[in-house]
Amino acid sequence: MSSHQLDPRSMSDAQSVSNYNVPGEAPSLYVKESAGVVWVQFAGIMIILAGAVHLLQGFSALFRKEVYNVGSGALGVGASYTTWGWAHVIWGGLAILVGCCLLAGQWWARFVGVVVAFLSAISNLAFMQANPFWGVVAIAIDITIIWAIMVHGGDLKKQKI
């Protein structure tokens, strides 16, 4: 049994789906993404996830204050849970918007994404006594986001074909 009987595709079909160019033909329009672009896409997804968690934290601070470990007077910043709730809701919405723009390849979203992740880490540090476990996890996620964008953000430049 020869190999063409196992794979019914023709040679031209096989070459059209491969990553290699056929000698003498024009190069395909398929461009392989670098690992850096994948890290920036990961950062975009993580910003969206962090924004969704900020929204959940904000809504729980607004509507169910009893889920937190301490009263609002023991937080890092002297503000009520209502104030923190609205701050988390606004910040979460902004983070989701920036994450979507980062996934869409907007160049300005790299800078704004780093600022959003940095301020998210600071706000989680100030809010840490209310929920310590999530504070540590969120800060680690924010540091990963900042690293991915700062180290690999330049890989998002348009490639010429």
Overall average pLDDT of the 147-154 stretch: 82
Helix axes 108-126, 132-152, angle to 10 degrees: 160
Give 3-state DSSP helix, strand, coil % of the chain, rounded to 5. Answer: 70, 0, 30
**The token pair that represents 41 in the structure block:** 């896409």
In order, the DSSP letters of 67-108 are GSSS-GGGSSS---HHHHHHHHHHHHHHHHHHHHHHHTT-TH
Task: Name the residue with higher pLDDT: 146 or 154.
Answer: 146
pLDDT value at residue 87:
87
Amino acid at 67: V
Cβ(159)–Cβ(36) under 8 Å? Answer: no
Q: Are 107 and 156 in contact (CB under 8 A)?
A: yes
Radius of gyration (C-alpha) of the chain in whole angstroms: 23
pLDDT of residue 138: 87
Which residue type is seen at 34? S
The label of the residue with tokens 């056929």 reads 22
Q: What is the pLDDT of residues 28-55, one digit of tens each?
A: 555 556 667 788 888 899 999 999 988 9
pLDDT per residue as tens digits for the range 76-133: 666 777 888 898 899 899 999 999 999 888 888 989 999 999 998 988 888 777 778 8
Look up residue 112 and give its amino acid: V
Residue 14: is its pLDDT beyond 60?
Answer: no
